[in-house]
Structure 1
């Protein structure tokens, strides 16, 4: 797998500035993110190749999420203050599926675990 240049899109998160879920970043700095290699740009998907590492022939992982203190390479800003995904529109499926109540600004069990890991209270809901 080759590393390509990556352009972060900060404006993608600006539409969510009032949503506590999409500006928190705790989930992006708490969990391992594995996904199908078919989601990579080079394979016809949308995830920039330079932000992923190959795990198996069929699986990739977001860079930075396989550490004792994970932090996705696409995460911008400081967790709990002003953080967001630099590739929000192109994020992999596990990120899209995490926190399905996010558009409502509500957390769930996974969100609460991620926020607790960073000393943050759970979101309402």
Structure 2
């Protein structure tokens, strides 16, 4: 069984940020990103179609943000997508993840174990004895 991936229930970053990168990542330049999914934004950079203006939504995002999503080119995604981690992946907070989630009314992700009570419930009245 694989570990839970909060990104598959979110997708907010794919529908909030501009995804721009060096044109050399495109297939016609030897990269992996399909050429027909990008738009030129300056002489050296391209952006995923749909992320070059607001409101933003990447052409490769499938599904409903905040419900169930996926990337139609996941194996061939650009470097900004490969480098963007959900908050608390490997124990690192990502405020940009929080910002994108907030734009869609989603709560920020919490560190693993953060939703667990600090003290185990031992059935007493809550008083702790040292």
| TM bin (shorter chain) | 0.7 to 0.9
Which residue is equivalent to 1:41? 27
| Aligned partner of residue 28 in structure 2, secondary structure | helix
Structure number with bigger Rg: 2
Question: Structure 2 unaligned runs (5+)?
Answer: 112-130
More displaced stretch, 56-65 vs 18-27: 18-27
Match of residue 85, structure 2, among 95, 99, 123: 99
Aligned-residue CA RMSD (Å) = 2.3
8 A contact 1:74–1:86 mirrored in 2: yes
Question: Structure 1 unaligned runs (5+)?
Answer: 1-14
8 A contact 2:87–2:95 mirrored in 1: no
Q: Residue 57 in 1 paired to residue 60 in 2?
A: no
Match of residue 74, structure 2, among 65, 88, 93: 88
8 A contact 2:86–2:97 mirrored in 1: no
- Work out the number of aligned pairs and report it: 111
Where is the helix percentage greater, Structure 1 or Structure 2? 1
Aligned-pair distance for 1:101?
Answer: 5.7
Higher relative contact order (CA 8 A, sep 6+): 1
TM-score (norm 2): 0.76
